Amino acid sequence: MKHYSDKIVTALILDKGESIFEAFEKVAMEKELPAGFITGIGAVEDVIIGCFDKGKKSYIEKKLNGFHELLALNGNLSWKDEKPFIHLHAIMGCEDGSVVGGHLLQAKIAVTGEFFFHLFNGDLKREFVPEFGLYLIK
């Protein structure tokens, strides 16, 4: 993992084998990043995506086999119980040119990951919403 920051943006470059969520949480804690939005591209494997089932208040999980181009990762960093809360959505390209995407639950870097945290001085915190069974931004 390599990261570079100015006052507004932190660039985070991940290497093969690194977990996106573990790396994002680590850099958010170590650098005490405020809230912000996250963008990125790269190549991933060991991916699990989800689609939220409102009735069951849980994610329907789908494991993706093999290598995928990470075409577009969008998400945000907020905080819950003094810990970073990473919410990510991803669109990924398959070998045959098709795309797949969803709420990202797990992903490891297959080659490289190039991410940018666009920060702001606000403070976003999460609060549990019983109607959905989710921690949403207040």
Residues forming the site for Zn ion (CB under 5 A): 103
Q: Which C-beta is closer to Zn ion: that of 103 or that of 126?
A: 103
Q: Which C-beta is closer to Zn ion: that of 8 or that of 129?
A: 129
Burial class (CB in 10 A: 0-12, 13-18, 19+), 125: middle
> Which residues are bridge partners to 76 per DSSP?
37, 87
> Which residues are bridge partners to 77 per DSSP?
36, 86
Q: Which C-beta is closer to Zn ion: that of 3 or that of 103?
A: 103
User: Minimum CB separation from Zn ion for residue 87, in Å?
Assistant: 6
Q: Which C-beta is closer to Zn ion: that of 31 or that of 103?
A: 103
User: Minimum CB separation from Zn ion for residue 50, in Å?
Assistant: 8
User: Minimum CB separation from Zn ion for residue 12, in Å?
Assistant: 20
User: Minimum CB separation from Zn ion for residue 131, in Å?
Assistant: 16
Here the tokens at position 45 are 């494997």
Amino acid symbol at 82: E
Sequence-distant (≥ 6) Cβ neighbours of residue 104 within 8 angstroms: 20, 47, 48, 49, 50, 73, 75, 88, 89, 90
Give the residue at shortest CB distance from Zn ion. 103
Which pairing describes strands 36-53 and 99-119: parallel, antiparallel, or unpaired? antiparallel
